[in-house]
């Protein structure tokens, strides 16, 4: 196979599609025509067209030929911004969306909302669907951001179509240079652990999510605070859980520790949802929070405020984060040149003290 001519054919077709010489729905020249023009075999032509089909540029209709995909119909004048989040529950996401929508509606934009259930497979499907629509930009909370992203090619297509996109809350490490708006999760984990230490806690357990970048960074902050206080980090005091077992693993792990009479004076939880379950588990076993053990959360959600034992937690500027993301997207749409610091907005966390800690 002539690699040079093979790659040239792929590149030439992409360029002609982007330059609108081939419009969505147009039929491409036949394999024979391409073979004659590029002086390569029909088998090589088929392989090149298969690459373009896999990348979403074209599609084949049996017996009729190969056509330009509707996916490339991006005018940048739709006034639609797509927003993809992992969940849309009554946790923090509605307030984030509210902040995004407020800014966009004031500037004449509408949002197209998608959720993934924190599944990379569903996330890829959402992006594929959005690429077939006419969107001006994308704001995305990545699914399982600590796991290798298997659909980087879809983000590359966003770049090829000149559709700006940015991350919120987390990011894929392979795309860490992409703009985004985040909470400083490492600092949040550090501050809440340091607070427990300041209240006399020494036997501090941690519960963190293993498959997203927030869990990794909150754990880093936890470790940093322990080391700073000359408390030996013990990996056996850390409970890791995945998306699938978030409703079971933390609760069962804490139950097991209680049954074994393991000594602990506090637990740093990945978020408020986990903290609620941990507090409930202690209560089931006859332990009082905070008299017997302190428990902290993260996000300052309505769960933390309204739990039977209001939870000491780390603030999450939900609506403001959404507003900052929308404002950053508007800057990108206007073609503003942004340096790294301007395009990577990190919001400072703060501790919110309530009744779940001594």
CA angle at residue 28 from 24 to 32, to 5 degrees? Answer: 170
Beta bridge partners of 194: none
Cβ atoms < 10 Å from Cβ of 27 = 13
Q: What would the mean pLDDT of 93-111 be, rounded to a whole number?
A: 96
Q: What is the DSSP code (8-state) at residue 312? A: B
* Domain annotation for the chain: domains and CATH numbers: 3-72 (1.10.10.10), 80-182+319-347 (3.40.50.2300), 185-317 (3.40.50.2300)
Residues 201-228: tens digit of each pLDDT: 999 999 999 999 999 999 999 999 999 9
Q: What would the mean pLDDT of 118-124 be, rounded to a whole number?
A: 95
Does position 133 have pLDDT exceeding 80, yes or no?
no
Cβ contacts of residue 169 below 8 Å, gap of 6+?
96, 141, 182, 183, 214, 321
Does position 75 have pLDDT exceeding 70, yes or no?
no
**Model pTM?**
0.80
Residues 224-274: tens digit of each pLDDT: 999 999 999 999 999 999 999 999 999 999 999 999 999 999 999 999 999
Contact assessment for residue 343 and residue 276, using Cβ atoms and an 8 Å cutoff: no
List phi, psi (to 5°) of 133.
-105, 175
pLDDT band at residue 55, thresholds of 50, 70 and 90? confident
């Amino acid at each position: 196979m002539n690699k040079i001519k093979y790659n040239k054919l792929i590149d030439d077709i992409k360029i002609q599609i982007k330059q609108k010489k081939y419009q969505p729905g147009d039929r491409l020249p036949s394999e024979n025509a391409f073979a004659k023009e590029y002086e390569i075999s029909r088998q090589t032509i088929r392989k090149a067209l298969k690459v373009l089909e896999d990348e979403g540029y074209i599609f084949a209709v049996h017996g009729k030929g190969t056509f330009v995909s509707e996916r490339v119909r991006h005018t940048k004048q739709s006034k639609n911004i797509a927003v993809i989040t992992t969940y849309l529950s009554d946790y923090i996401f509605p307030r984030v969306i509210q902040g995004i929508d407020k800014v966009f509606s004031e500037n004449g934009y509408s949002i197209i909302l998608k959720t993934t259930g924190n599944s990379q497979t569903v996330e890829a499907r959402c992006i594929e669907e959005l690429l077939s629509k006419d969107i001006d930009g994308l704001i995305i909370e990545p699914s399982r951001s600590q796991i290798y992203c298997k659909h980087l090619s879809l983000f590359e297509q966003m770049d090829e179509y000149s559709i700006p996109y940015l991350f919120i809350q987390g990011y894929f490490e392979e795309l860490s240079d992409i703009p985004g708006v985040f909470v400083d999760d490492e600092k949040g984990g550090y501050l809440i652990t340091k607070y427990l230490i300041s209240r006399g806690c020494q036997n501090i357990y941690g519960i963190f999510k293993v498959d997203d970048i927030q869990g990794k960074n909150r754990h880093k902050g936890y470790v940093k605070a322990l080391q700073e206080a000359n408390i030996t980090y013990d990996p056996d005091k850390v409970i890791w859980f995945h998306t699938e077992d978030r409703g079971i693993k933390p609760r069962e792990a804490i139950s097991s520790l209680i049954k074994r009479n393991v000594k602990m004076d506090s637990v740093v939880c990945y978020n408020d949802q986990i903290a609620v379950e941990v507090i409930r588990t202690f209560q089931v076993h006859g332990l009082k929070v905070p008299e017997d053990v302190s428990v902290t959360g993260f996000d300052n959600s309505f769960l933390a405020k309204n739990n039977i034992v209001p939870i000491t937690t780390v603030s999450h500027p939900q609506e403001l984060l959404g507003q900052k993301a929308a404002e950053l997207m508007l800057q990108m749409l206007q073609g503003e040149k942004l340096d790294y610091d301007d395009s990577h907005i990190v919001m400072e966390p703060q501790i919110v003290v309530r009744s779940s800690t001594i």
